[in-house]
């Protein structure tokens, strides 16, 4: 709830310019750009800036409380590893859409693609394979899932 608002309580008027990569270690440049694009963070790419501009009212940010950042970073580290700790040989086939309600098929594919989840597209599978070590997951505390789901749901819908 705090992450989406300025100190005075108003919804943020602009998206963050950078992600705290020190907290999300081990990302190469390609992975950083992929994640930045997924979160609508402005980088040196006009298309990404346009995407970020469209998401400004939703004000998605990763400027979360330190404990939440740690939780997310740990989840990122664990998500795409098998139980024995090795990198998964394949990406997850689906996201728990029951937890992220209200998405139409197009929005689901957009989010799935952004999160590197394998769908029926070879390019997305390749992207997923490249992101295995980065291990993105939505297995977060229920309140955090709800906040993220609501932000995503709003961000992908017109007025």
pLDDT digits 0-9 by tens, 79-97: 444 566 554 444 444 444 4
pLDDT classification of 24: cutoffs 50, 70, 90: very low
Q: What percent of the chain has pLDDT over 90?
A: 0
- If phi > 0 it is left, if psi is from -120 to 50 it is alpha, else beta; for residue 32 that is alpha
Q: How many CB atoms lie within 10 A of CB 154?
A: 15
| Distance in Å from the first CA to the final CA of the chain | 21
R_g of the chain computed on alpha carbons: 15
Checking if the pLDDT of 57 tops 50, the result is: no
Q: What is the per-residue pLDDT for 106?
A: 58
Which of these, 23, 17, 19, lies nearest to 43 by C-alpha position?
A: 17
What does pTM read for this prediction? 0.21
* Contact by Cβ (8 Å): 117, 95: yes
Lowest mean pLDDT among 15-24, 131-140, 149-158: 131-140
Angle value at C-alpha 122, between 61 and 110, nearest 5 degrees: 30
Q: What is the pLDDT at residue 140?
A: 39
């Amino acid at each position: 709830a705090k992450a989406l608002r300025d100190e005075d309580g108003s919804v943020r008027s602009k998206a963050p310019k950078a992600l705290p990569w020190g907290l999300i270690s081990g990302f190469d440049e390609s992975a950083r750009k992929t994640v930045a694009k997924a979160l609508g963070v402005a980088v040196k790419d006009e298309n990404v800036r346009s995407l970020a501009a469209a998401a400004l009212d939703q004000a998605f940010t990763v400027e979360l409380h330190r404990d939440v950042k740690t939780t997310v970073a740990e989840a990122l580290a664990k998500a795409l590893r098998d139980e024995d700790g090795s990198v998964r040989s394949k990406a997850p086939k689906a996201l728990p859409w029951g937890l992220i309600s209200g998405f139409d098929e197009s929005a689901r594919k957009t989010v799935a693609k952004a999160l590197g989840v394998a769908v029926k597209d070879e390019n997305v599978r390749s992207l997923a394979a490249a992101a295995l070590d980065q291990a993105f997951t939505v297995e977060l505390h229920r309140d955090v899932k709800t906040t993220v789901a609501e932000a995503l749901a709003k961000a992908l819908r017109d007025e």
